[in-house]
Structure 1
Amino acid sequence: MPSALPPGDPAPADGSLPVAALASVGHRAFGVYVHVPFCRVRCGYCDFNTYTVPELGGPQAPAGASLDTYADAALAELALAAQVLDANRSVPETKPLPAVSTVFVGGGTPTMLPAADLVRVLHGIRGRFGLTPDAEVTTEANPDTITPEVARALVAGGFTRVSLGMQSAVPHVLAMLDRTHDPANVATAVRVCRDAGLAVSLDLIYGTPGESLTDWRASLQAAVDLAPDHVSAYALTIEEGTKLAAQVRRGQVPRPQDDDEADKYELADELLSMNGYEWYEISNWAANRDARCRHNLAYWRGADWWGIGPGAHSHVGGVRWWNVKHPAAYAARLAQRASPAQAREELSDEQRLDEQVLLGIRLADGLDLSVLPAAGRRAVAGLIADGLLQGAAAIKGRGVLTRRGRLLADTVVHQLLA
């Protein structure tokens, strides 16, 4: 089952935000995340807020909780978002609604929706907020769902980028992950996207039970051979409540080992670097600076964004909130012209600093060391001596992880926050 939402304070039924949060609207970049909660099957490792069509009732699913009607629910939340954020006009010295600079459609499998519906939601974002001239617009996709017709429709509708869930090039690894796509279709999907004019990112997972270092090398090489613009590589985590967690608990499959995952991370960084990809965040590499995922960079830099969809999280001006999880409950609230937000929290200055350090240190551009408490600044020399931070960057006032530091990022954060 999908993981539980965090606790929080009650969220207003109308979705309204505090005046202090509204005051930040329009003063910095603004993004929109759209969650599409549908999958053909539930992968054994996944605890994302996703559902198969039969789980939602199939053809009898409530309005807004079916493939045919989900776009209408998403558009209803967009209307609410514009209404809430436009309230900032009553706040002195504020700016108009910001044009959206990044859009990311994730899931689930967004391309289970017709391309026309994905485009319709994007047009809704453009109509409510506007898009910046250089807006980055991404959708995730299962390789088997990409056809020339889908790719052309996405480009015509304003999408600029597709993130393909490759995960592995090795059939037995894909089988362990319950991935259903044909690995041969990844190359086809990449070609189709490129022919249509879309930038391409490939998502990989390492550390799957039964995956050897040779298997992982084969997956990395297969990804590099396709010459994507961007590669993400994430270590498999065993999430409670998933099929894979039950298999590990029963001893049917081994738990991923830290040393194995460290070896695979180092191999990924070596092979990707040799082929011209630069790391810009611990788990992400890009062919050049322009190919970096700007939407995810906004998260790591603490920017503002509105999350559309069941279970989606949002952040505006130091206020974070999250929507009810189930698509039927989400659609029902919007049908009643109420906010789908379940709860929220207002971040304290201490929480903001913690997150700034936790997220900022993950970036190759580094963390501004001047934001650290005195004890954290004193810890920098020891972290350099231990080979976890780059000395040259620290001289310039930036905290930048070494490759070894990337493997021990939690340790670095703990010391910097004293």
Structure 2
Amino acid sequence: MGVTHKKVERAKKILYITPYFPEPNKKAGSKFTYNQIKKLVELGYDVDLVSITRFDKLDIENVQLICKNVFVFKRDNYLSYFNAFVKAFFQKQSLFLDLLPSSFKRQIRILLNKNYDRVFIEHSYMAIWFRNEFGNKYDDKLRIVMHNIEKDYFEYMYKNEKLNLSKLFYWLEYRFLFHNEDILLRNKNLKFLFLNKDNAKKYNGLFLPSFPFEVKNVKEYAKYDIGYIGFLGSQRNINALKFFLENIWPIILKNNKNITFCIAGRGLRNEDENYLKKFKNVYIIGEINKIENFYSNNKIIIVPILESIGVQTKLYEALSYLKPVVCTKFALNGMPFENNIHLFATNDIQKFANYCLLLLEKKEIMEIFKKNLISLEQNIKIQIEKVLKI
């Protein structure tokens, strides 16, 4: 009598191409990429990573623990920028793509011979490059991860950037994407995964929440009343703080002069630090080593941004620590969270101040939000697995 062997299926293979190097504790793009690759591996897939970076110090060993193979390429150095600028200007090409090293392109060609089940590629400009190089041969396997509508992002950055060189870069990228991205998004044969649920609906794509929303409990030491955390080298974040401090903070202090405001994050310029220090009861604590300590030390968190560009990772983060959050409606655009169910969102100055005061006074409101957030956690997990599953 023969022995019946259970048939073991081979692990499905994924090629993941990204302009970020994935790291769990870095900025939003790197953190998102790390989490998505980790989720793909947890679903049982073998992932080969091809990454581009401009940094020298990378935690490659951490990524090698989850990926089958890791290939990292440095962007061409800044000495080649002049030629790339000229080429991008006259040929209406992407400056970023002109700086891709030939070794990166060569490695992609070699890897595509491995017959992957899926090819994930982040950002529309990378997808445009990929299809220019390889045509529609891999369209059925291609999954394009859209962090933003890039055209809108680069237009915003161009209009608001102060440094001339950076302004020129954003203008070149916007000009390149103005028609090319629309052509890409209109292609009915391609599948798009949007980090913004509104964009997913608009372009008939799939909504991929930008982070696995994992609820974490932290002890509250309540050193400060209101907290804000973000990259303080970003003018967008400084503008958000100015909006809060000039318009909302005076209303809060008028109601209670003892309330404190904590600002955390790296990259703060001297002139901005001097500006922030002018306000009463404001404490600037700089870069945080352990993020859980920041959330333990602040009773409520604010996200007072003034535009809907990019994914608000700090919103995910604060709510995952079950902190009461007050944000502008701009921060909520395209997110899986709902006003009055998971947090408070308003663009009205008086209401923003009132919500902060209400949450500081009535802890029972957050208990209702907590129950709703714990329920949302499972829904987001299901959505991510549904979208990523092959």
Q: So what's the TM-score if we normalise by structure 2?
A: 0.33
Q: So what's the TM-score if we normalise by structure 1?
A: 0.31
Which is bigger in relative contact order (C-alpha 8 A, separation at least 6)?
Answer: 1
The structure where strand makes up a greater share of residues is 1
